[in-house]
Amino acid sequence: MDETTVKVLILKNNRVLVGKLIEIPPENVILGDPDHYLIDPVSYDENADLDKCMVRYPSRRLTSETKFFIRSDDVFFVATPDNKLLAEYLVTIGD
């Protein structure tokens, strides 16, 4: 896995996700359609202890899929996770 693709996303609805973010080539996107893939997303709760702050999103009870489309219009902020958060993310997704 290329760890440089792991990003922290703050969505416009204030949900915080951590996952592998990959851009869909612009020539393959129609205006308004999703323009990124989010792979192995987890929801992050900053008020929880580090070892309990991440859970798979959506839960495995809803779907076993791990690759989702996302529109950049729904994202407020994107950043690179710090090393501790990245390590916990990798543990959470099993890499």
pLDDT in tens, 17-30: 999 999 998 888 88
Q: How many Cβ atoms are within 10 Å of 88's Cβ, its own excluded?
A: 19
Q: Which residues in the chain land under pLDDT 70?
A: 1-4, 95
Domain 3-93 annotated CATH 2.30.30.100? yes
Judged by phi (left if over 0) then psi (alpha if -120 to 50, else beta), residue 32 lies in left
Q: What is the pLDDT of residue 81?
A: 95
Residue-range domain boundaries for the chain:
3-93
Q: Residue 35 in contact with residue 71, Cβ under 8 Å? A: yes
pTM of the predicted model, to two decimals?
A: 0.86
